[in-house]
Structure 1
């Protein structure tokens, strides 16, 4: 079960990892069998499902994203959580808002991501 302290620690490390563009640190948050669904994945991977399955595929997708968006930067707006899930609501370097719903396992690794964007 997630606690406020665990969620805020995860959020802080997650955003720092992305803002530093440290792919190993970014990947440290994700489980081996992670599934991500994202409109950006659909666009970058030319796959209308926008689905990325598994940690190796997720790493390749994130690597491509960091190359395509070299000035990528996130600023957290809000954090919400349940027993085994979180929602990170943030703004990116272009001023677009994003909300990512993430399921988290008992080892505090992210197993599922559903990404939503406003533009």
Structure 2
């Protein structure tokens, strides 16, 4: 179970790691075989179904995203949590509003994440 304090701490670390463009720090929050879903994965032509599995594949995608968005900066707005999930609501690239949905395992690592954008 994720406590409110753990959810807030995760969100602060996650946003700070992205804003520092530190992929190792971002990826430290995930399991080796986690699955990521995002319309950006599909739009960038990386996977036709918008899904990737495994840190190596997601790292490759995120490295390309950072090249495409060198001024990437996230502004955190809200953190929602429930049992073993967290939703982070933030402003993403190009001013898009985003909600990232994370599912955590018993060790407190993310094994599934889904990005939602306006």
User: Structure 2 length as normaliser, TM-score?
Assistant: 0.95
In the TM superposition, what whole-angstrom CA distance separates every residue of 1:75-117 from its partner, at most 9, and x where no partner exists? 0111101100010110024211001111011111111011110
Is 1:111 aligned with 2:108? no
Query: What number of residue pairs does the alignment pair up?
Result: 118
| Greater alpha carbon shift after TM alignment, 41-50 vs 27-36 | 41-50
Is the partner of 2:17 in helix, strand or coil?
Answer: helix
In the aligned structure 2, how far is the partner of 1:52 from the partner of 1:73?
Answer: 23
Which residue is equivalent to 2:63? Answer: 63
Asked if 1 retains the 8 angstrom alpha-carbon contact of 2:84 and 2:104, the reply is yes
Which residue is equivalent to 1:4? Answer: 4
In the TM superposition, what whole-angstrom CA distance separates every residue of 1:16-60 from its partner, at most 9, and x where no partner exists? 000000111111111111001100011113422000111111111
Which residue is equivalent to 2:72? Answer: 72
Structure 1 unpaired stretches of 5+: none
Which residue is equivalent to 1:41? Answer: 41
Structure 2 unpaired stretches of 5+: none
Q: CA RMSD in A?
A: 1.0
Query: For 1:93-104, what aligned pairs fall within 5 Å after superposition?
Result: 93-104=93-104
